[in-house]
């Protein structure tokens, strides 16, 4: 290949790459969830996740978000419960080691607020979700926070004897706080 073609292609790729790609600061970030067992709220969190975010607050419709969550990293604070969550009736982490969320559209919803339409995939089942996100800036870090509700049985979480929603509610609230570096001004 001629050197001027390589230079032209390289220049185009560098110019086309989003200058506003963000990095997740893991130590300050959290993805948590709350379920109800016999009416009592039970909180958990995922300790391993990663994501790719390319978002310009001034052009939200051009943004992209993609997350991967290690399903075996679900933690409730009790070793026996943590071990149970990875088993086949729940996350089946041996067969489905990752859950994922990928945006399909992002739109502005007011000052510092955005609505992310996304595809959520868990245990081989995919569903459309709507995720409200609020962005706030603190120095060089931008925090993306929000919460949304899913139905666990849509994703076959709690199969078999655990599908009785009088024992474990079907609704699961997912909450997140992501610390992002590299975000453009809000």
Per-residue pLDDT, 134: 98
Please state the three-class secondary structure of the chain as a single string.
Answer: CCHHHHHHHHHHHHHHCCCCEEEECHHHCEEEEEEEECCEEEEEEECCEEEEEECCCCCHHHCEEEEEEEHHHEECCCHHHHHHHCCCCCCCCCCCCEEEEEEEEEEECCCCEEEEEEEEEECCEEEEEEEEEEEEEECCEEEEEEEEEEEHHHHCCCCHHHHCCCCECCEEEEEEEEEEECCCCC
**Per-domain residue ranges for the chain?**
21-181
- Tell me the pLDDT tens digit for each residue of 28-69: 999 999 999 999 999 999 999 999 999 999 999 999 999 999
Q: What is the mean pLDDT of the chain?
A: 90
Per-residue pLDDT, 155: 98
CATH superfamily of 21-181: Lipid/polyisoprenoid-binding, YceI-like (2.40.128.110)
| Percent of the chain topping pLDDT 70 | 89
């Amino acid at each position: 290949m001629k050197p001027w073609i390589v230079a032209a292609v390289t220049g185009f790729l560098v110019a086309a790459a989003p200058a506003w790609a963000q990095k997740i600061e893991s130590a300050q970030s959290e993805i948590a969830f709350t379920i109800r067992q016999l009416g009592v709220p039970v909180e958990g969190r995922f300790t391993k996740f990663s994501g790719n975010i390319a978002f310009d607050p001034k052009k939200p419709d051009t943004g992209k978000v993609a997350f991967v969550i290690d399903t075996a990293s679900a933690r409730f604070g009790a070793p026996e419960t943590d071990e149970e969550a990875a088993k086949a009736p729940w996350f089946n982490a041996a067969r489905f080691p990752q859950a994922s969320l990928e945006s399909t559209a992002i739109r502005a919803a007011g000052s510092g607020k955005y609505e992310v339409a996304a595809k959520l995939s868990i245990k081989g089942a995919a569903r459309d979700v709507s995720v409200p996100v609020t962005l706030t800036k603190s120095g060089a870090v931008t925090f993306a926070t929000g919460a949304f509700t899913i139905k666990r049985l849509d994703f076959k979480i709690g199969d078999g004897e655990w599908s009785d929603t009088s024992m474990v509610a079907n609704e699961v609230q997912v909450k997140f706080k992501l610390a992002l570096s590299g975000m453009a001004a809000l």
